[in-house]
Structures are given as C-alpha cells and as structure tokens.
Amino acid sequence: MTQQPGVARMPALMVFEYHLINFRRSWYGSVFSSFLLPVLTLVGFGVGVGSYVTGGVGGVPYLDYLVPGLIASTAFQVAIGESLWPVFGRFEWEKTYFAQAAAPLRVADILGGQLLFLLFRVLLSSTIFLAVAAAFGTLHSLWALAVVPLQVLLGLAVISPVIAYAARVSSDSFLALLMRFGVIPMTLFSGVFFPVAELTPVLRWLAYASPLWHSVELSRAATLGTTPYWPAAGHLLYLAAWAVVGWWLARRQFARRLVD
C-alpha cells in the first residue's frame, strides 16, 4: 500500500486496499456461499416448491415473491459471515488489527477500511444476484435498480453491530451462538419465504424488529413495483438507526481493544 507523491493520504482507503488485495487472492472460496448457493435455493424453492404454490403469494408468482427476499437474505448472511470469524480472527489469531494500530493508523481508519471492504462484499454479491434475478425474468420495475443500494444499507446496519460483537467476545463459541440463535431464525422469520402476517403476534413483532425484514419489504416493493408495508422512509430510517448505533458500538469496542 504505497502512497504516490502528491496524493493526499487516505488511511481508511489504504486499509480497504489491504483487504481487497487479500480478497483477490482468495475470492474463489466465496463463490459458493455468495452466488451458487443462493441460485440453487432460488431454483429449488422458487421454481421447484413454487410450482406447488397455487396462485402464488397475494397474487404474485412465488418465484417473483421469493427473489427479493433471497437477495436481501444473501446480503444479510454475507455481511454477518464476513463480520464474525474474520474480525474475531484479526483480533485473537492473526493480530492484524494490532499491527495496523502500530503502523500507526487511527481506530477510525482501521474500522473504516474494514467496513468499506465488507460493504464491497455485500455490493458484489447483491449485484450478481440481481443480474441472475433479471435473467429469470423476476424483476417487474425499474425500481429494482434500487435493490443493490438497499442491500448496502442493510449491510451497514448489520455489519456495524456484529463487528462490535465479534470484537467484544473472548471465544469463537459465541460466534456460533449468534449464528444459531440469531441469524438462522431471523432468516427464516423475516418475510423471505412467506409473509410475516402468517406468524403469531409475538413472532411478528420480532420480525418487525429485524433489520432484514425492512430490507426484504423494500426490496420486494422495488422488484414488483408495489408499495411497501410501512412507508419507505420509515424502513430506511430504521436501518439507518441500526447503522449509526452499530458504528458507535464498533468504534468504542475497537478503541477499547486497540488503544486502552
């Protein structure tokens, strides 16, 4: 990460470049989780199971109903997967963050570069999935172009608090607990596969609290050209609130580990 003469120093971008170089050497390892698995799920559930869903969901063919949910859930899982073990490992196993702090880099630079890379991963997987969805003929509005930036916002809303969690815990067992009792239920009960209106009132309100449900609702409205369940501004503000609070928690936790 060399700096060219006359170019202003942008430390966060240099940290992002570091992660990008590492990803260039190992990108093929993420092809299955961020591309092939969602496509197989789309074919299996959307085409296979969908053929048995007579009348679709609310008059919408099941494949068309499912695709925006899968795009959002894929972005959600990529964001969390890249924010748990990799971040924990850079603190506990590889000690990468400590080396960067000794460079020296500010905490904001280290955290900012990490966030930029993780958002890049979300952007990449969402763009590819949206292109596949277009090939299946499941996009019915030009608003579908807004799906990718929506997933980036979802990614920021999820990545920030999860990074804070990964930086806080002392054992990787806690990461598996979050996946088992947080990520999997959230994926199943956030409107990806069926409307949350089918849930009991308690589970329905838990779904409303999930950032994934808000992204699913906005993405589905965008691809179908319909109106979301809540006003779009409400969904966006809720996701932004998660991002802001998560950033504060992550910034605080990184400072505690790297400075104190």
CA–CA distances in Å: residue 205 to residues 151, 190, 198 = 22, 10, 12
Rg (CA), the chain: 19
pLDDT at 49: 72
81 part of a folded domain: yes
Residue 23 lies in a domain: no
Q: Is residue 198 part of a domain?
A: yes
pTM equals: 0.89
Per-residue pLDDT of the chain (260 residues; tens, 9 = 90+): 444 443 346 888 999 988 898 888 777 766 666 667 777 877 777 777 767 777 778 788 888 999 999 999 999 999 998 899 999 999 999 899 999 998 888 999 999 999 999 999 999 989 988 988 898 888 999 999 999 999 999 999 999 999 999 999 999 999 999 999 999 999 999 999 889 988 999 999 999 999 999 999 999 999 999 888 788 999 999 999 999 999 999 999 999 999 86
Return phi, psi of residue 59, to 5°: 85, 0
- Which residue's entry shows tokens 């501004």? 233
Q: Which of 53, 87, 64 is nearest to 174 (CA)?
A: 87
Residue 172 lies in a domain: yes
Provide the domain count of the chain: 1
Place of tokens 């109106």: 227
CB half-sphere exposure, 65, CA atoms < 13 A: 18
- Check residue 237 and give its pLDDT: 96
Which domain covers residue 169, as residue numbers? 60-258
**Is the link from the previous residue into 104 a cis peptide, with omega within 30 of 0?**
yes
